[in-house]
């Protein structure tokens, strides 16, 4: 339990920030899962979903939810996966 007013405020602020971070991270994971599902349906559907997923990765990186290099790595892997699916189709 917090012993001072500033420590109590820190607890409140941290809880608020954590809730925001968890929400954004969850939405990011959902977006990636939607991309995977769209990719199994057709490469064209995957291409449309890739744009949305990349946007959500960029937004998460801009807000500091994930590191910018982690976002770049994920974008690269998703793009490779799409290219591979389009080559097979």
Domain residues for the domain of 39 are 12-88
- Give yes or no for a contact between 82 and 46, defined as CB atoms under 8 angstroms apart: yes
User: Mean pLDDT of residues grouped by 10 in the chain (89 residues)?
Assistant: 91 97 97 95 92 96 97 98 92
pLDDT at res. 2: 80
The answer to the question of residue 64 being in a domain is: yes
pLDDT at res. 1: 77
Q: Report how far residue 67's alpha carbon sits from residue 32's, in angstroms, rounded to the nearest whole number.
A: 17
Report the CATH number that the domain containing residue 22 is assigned in CATH. 1.20.58.110
The answer to the question of residue 28 being in a domain is: yes
pLDDT at res. 18: 97
Count of domains observed in the chain: 1
H/E element, 55: helix 43-62
The answer to the question of residue 23 being in a domain is: yes
pLDDT at res. 11: 96
The answer to the question of residue 3 being in a domain is: no
pLDDT at res. 32: 97
- Give yes or no for a contact between 78 and 35, defined as CB atoms under 8 angstroms apart: yes
The answer to the question of residue 68 being in a domain is: yes
């Amino acid at each position: 339990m917090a012993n001072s007013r500033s420590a109590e405020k820190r607890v409140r602020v941290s809880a608020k920030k954590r809730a925001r971070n968890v929400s954004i991270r969850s939405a990011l994971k959902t977006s990636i899962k939607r991309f995977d599902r769209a990719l199994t349906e057709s490469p064209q559907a995957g291409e449309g979903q890739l744009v949305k997923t990349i946007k959500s990765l960029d937004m998460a990186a801009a807000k500091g939810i994930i590191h910018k290099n982690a976002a770049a790595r994920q974008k690269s892997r998703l793009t490779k996966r799409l290219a591979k699916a389009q080559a097979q189709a």
